[in-house]
Amino acid sequence: MLMQAVQSISVLEGEAILERRLMPTVHLPHLDPFMRVEHFFIEHGGFPNQPHHGFEGLFYLFSGELHHDDSLGNHEDIYAGGVELFNTGHGLLHAEMVESKAHGLRIWFDLPEHMKHSKPTYQKFDAEDIPLDATPNVIVRTVVGKGSPVETQVKAQVIDITMGAKSVYMWNAPEGVKGFVYVAVGQIRINGKEVNTSEAMIFSAEATLPMITHTGARVIVCCGEPNGGDIEVPTSYAT
């Protein structure tokens, strides 16, 4: 098992969007099948009309409200705890805008070559659609994975773990995946290695990841089966 600590990079988009960008950066251009991962904080405005193709995009809202419009005719509001998933396929024009604040995560999955020219699709899920497993000190939301209605074209898992103070959570990565553990809030230790807020631990191959926190933390675990193809990395990204 390979493990590598990575620091996200602070990026300001426009005047009102602050992002903690895990990838693409000069340090981590991508991690097949992940081509873009950003922890965003939107004060107002949002992401206006963008033409995209060849990937699957997921927005997961921690708080606030996000409004989606696209060239398929979808007009949807996503609220805290909700998810939207769209396959850009051969081409999709979409926008994610807010009237006030929104805080969450966006993930782009590179599509397998045979799906890059597929028909675009859009799906929306409310917070109550996302499976939740709670113990006295740990809450686990399965955003993508077993039991979740959010089914990505790429075989992937996205798990949101809220850990109380002085808690432990053990997560087992499937065989043949690549992924990362991102700390959105707080601090954890994995196999004796410290991971702080806005940092991630990259892993590959089958892994057992014991997470320990003394102060409490919110952790996002993402993994997926690599496609093995070339990933088109954006030419402009933060250094």
The answer to whether residues 237 and 25 touch, using CB atoms and an 8 Å cutoff, is yes
Tell me if residue 129 falls in helix, strand or coil. helix
**In a domain? residue 155:** yes
What distance in Å separates the CA atoms of residue 17 and residue 102, rounded to the nearest whole number? 9
- Percentage of the chain surpassing pLDDT 70? 95
* 176-228 pLDDT tens trace: 899 999 999 999 999 889 999 999 999 987 778 899 999 999 999 999 999 88
Q: Is residue 229 part of a domain?
A: no
How many whole angstroms separate alpha carbon 199 and alpha carbon 85?
25
The CATH number covering residue 97 comes to 2.60.120.10
Task: Please tell me the total count of domains within the chain.
Answer: 1
In a domain, 238, yes or no: no
Task: Give domain status of residue 234, yes or no.
Answer: no
Q: What is the pTM of this model?
A: 0.93
Residue 80's domain comprises: 2-224
Q: Report yes or no on 233 lying in a domain.
A: no
Is 230 within the bounds of a domain? no
pLDDT, tens digit only, all 239 positions of the chain = 567 889 999 998 766 788 999 999 988 899 999 999 999 999 888 888 888 888 999 999 999 999 999 999 999 999 999 999 999 999 999 989 888 899 999 999 999 888 899 999 999 999 999 999 999 999 999 999 999 999 999 999 999 999 999 999 999 888 889 999 999 999 999 988 999 999 999 998 777 889 999 999 999 999 999 988 777 655 444 43
Q: What is the mean pLDDT of the chain?
A: 90
